[in-house]
């Protein structure tokens, strides 16, 4: 051991635990070459996770596809789980020849409108309940009870009230987003540090000034969090809503494929929904972080 060259010594110093483990498992009589190779492999394996996040993400998905392919080809009936290759080619075919973009557009439009309505109303009501004791006493109890009605629970009544047109979907998305955003907004207003409010009071600020310049900015991170949760709720709501009553859209696609026994098209629809939900969330986060950077950045530095 005393004859090791400097580089080798450095490597072994860094990978000491593995080297010891290698020596222990391989036994005292193992040729030094083996223990050495084992230790080098272990070190290389660990270094793998220092790679940039993008590479690791791609690695994760590649692994997932491999496992999926293995299941579909060797373990499960391909009528239950189609192979990744089939899903990909069906998806491509739907994109080019079968108006997949139209379905995606329809779903996204409904989500967009419902979210916009839900955000505006949710923020207004949330601010009202947070700021005014009268509003809190009168409105909050009703909100707290009603928010237990999930959008899915409201699907039947929405169909009765609005029929099977677009309004029903707007209403359902709005319903889900509204309560989530209202509750988060109220929490945001309440989270304003009393010290900050008092600091502004003793400078002579009016109640309105305190609300606009102190409470609103302090509540903003909570409002953003609420909107992100609203997006998640919207994606979970649109699918059952479209399954039940829609001609176009991803949920409708899912339902039609199910009725026709087209498992590959179902998988395409599910994959699109998953990726779309993730992308929208990332987009909202990016937008929020950049537009409201000064109102959220300081939190991580506290």
Partner 1 sequence: MDVPRQRATRQGSVALTQEVDRLKAGVSADVIIELKDVEKVFGGLNSRYVALQGCSLKVKRGEFICLLGPSGCGKSTLLNLIAGFERPTGGEITFDGEPLVGASSKRVMCFQDSMQALLPWTTVAGNISFALSVRHVPRAEWKARIDECLDIVGLSASVGRFPTELSGGMRQRLQIARALAANPEVLLMDEPFGALDAMTRTQMQLELLRVWERTNKTVVFITHDIEEALLLGDRVCIMNKGPRSRIVAEYPVEGPRPRQLLEDRRIAELAGRIRTTFATFETADQGRPGV
Residues in the site for partner 1, rule: CB under 8 A?
Answer: 193, 195-196, 198-205, 209, 213-214, 217, 294-295, 297-298, 301-302
Half-sphere exposure of 198 (CA within 13 A, CB side): 3
Judged by beta carbon, residue 42 or residue 220, the one nearer partner 1 is: 220
Nearer to partner 1, 4 or 289 (CB): 289
Q: Minimal CA–CA distance to 226: which of 112, 145, 124, 123?
A: 123
Smallest separation (angstroms) from partner 1 to the CB of 120: 23
Q: Closest separation between CB of residue 149 and partner 1, Å?
A: 36
Nearer CB in complex with partner 1: 62/213: 213
Q: Where are the alpha helices (DSSP H) in 245-262?
A: 250-260
The CB-of-300 to partner 1 minimum distance in angstroms stands at 9
Tokens 């859209």 appear where? 249
**Burial (0-12, 13-18, 19+ Cβ within 10 Å), 242:** buried
Q: Which is nearer to partner 1, 69 or 295 (CB)?
A: 295
Query: What are phi and psi for residue 247, nearest 5 degrees?
Result: -95, -35
CA atoms of 241 and 251, how far apart (whole Å) = 7
Of residues 220 and 270, the one with the C-beta less far from partner 1:
220
Give min distance, CB of 297 to partner 1, in A.
8
Least distance (Å) from partner 1 to the CB of residue 185?
18
Q: How far apart are CA 116 and CA 49, in angstroms?
A: 40
- Whichever of 214 and 243 has its CB closer to partner 1, that residue is 214
DSSP type of residue 147? T
Q: In the structure encoding, which two tokens stand for residue 197, read together?
A: 């409010």
Rounded to a whole number of angstroms, the minimum distance from the CB of residue 301 to partner 1 is: 4
Q: Which is nearer to partner 1, 61 or 298 (CB)?
A: 298
**At closest approach, how far in Å is the CB of 293 from partner 1?**
9
Please return the burial class of 295, using the count of CB atoms within 10 Å of its CB with bins 0-12, 13-18 and 19+.
middle
Q: How far apart are CA 165 and CA 15, in angstroms?
A: 65
Question: Do residues 184 and 130 make contact, with C-beta atoms less than 8 angstroms apart?
Answer: no
Distance CA 203, CA 207 (A): 12
Whether 114 and 259 have beta carbons less than 8 Å apart is answered as no
Q: How far is the CB of 295 from partner 1 (least distance, A)?
A: 5
Which CB atom, from 127 or from 219, has the smaller least distance to partner 1? 219
Question: Are 230 and 148 contacting, i.e. CB atoms less than 8 angstroms apart?
Answer: no
């Amino acid at each position: 051991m005393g004859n090791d060259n400097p580089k080798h010594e450095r490597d072994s110093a860094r990978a000491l635990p593995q080297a010891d483990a290698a020596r222990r498992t391989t036994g005292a009589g193992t040729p030094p070459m083996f223990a050495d190779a084992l230790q080098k492999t272990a070190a290389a394996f660990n270094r793998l996770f220092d790679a940039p996040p993008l590479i690791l993400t791609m690695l994760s998905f590649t692994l997932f596809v491999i496992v999926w392919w293995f299941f579909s080809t060797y373990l499960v009936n391909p009528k239950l789980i189609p192979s990744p290759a089939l899903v990909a080619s069906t998806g491509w075919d739907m994109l080019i020849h079968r108006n997949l973009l139209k379905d995606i557009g329809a779903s996204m439009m409904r989500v967009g409108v419902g979210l916009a309505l839900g955000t505006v109303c949710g923020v207004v009501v949330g601010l009202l309940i947070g700021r005014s004791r009268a509003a809190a006493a009168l409105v909050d109890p009703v909100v707290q009870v009603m928010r237990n009605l999930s959008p899915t629970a409201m699907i039947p009544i929405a169909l009765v009230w609005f029929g099977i047109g677009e309004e029903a979907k707007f209403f359902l998305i709005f319903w889900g987003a509204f309560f989530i955003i209202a509750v988060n907004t109220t929490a945001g207003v309440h989270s304003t540090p009393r010290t900050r409010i008092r600091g502004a009071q003793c400078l002579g600020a009016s109640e309105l000034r305190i609300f606009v310049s102190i409470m609103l900015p302090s509540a903003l991170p909570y409002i953003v969090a609420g909107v992100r949760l609203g997006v998640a709720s919207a994606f979970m709501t649109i699918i059952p809503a479209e399954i039940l009553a829609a001609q176009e859209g991803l949920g409708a696609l899912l339902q039609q494929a199910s009725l026709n026994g087209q498992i590959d098209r179902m998988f395409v629809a599910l994959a699109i929904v998953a990726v779309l939900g993730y992308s929208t969330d990332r987009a909202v986060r990016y937008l929020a972080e950049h537009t409201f950077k000064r109102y959220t950045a300081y939190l991580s530095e506290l």
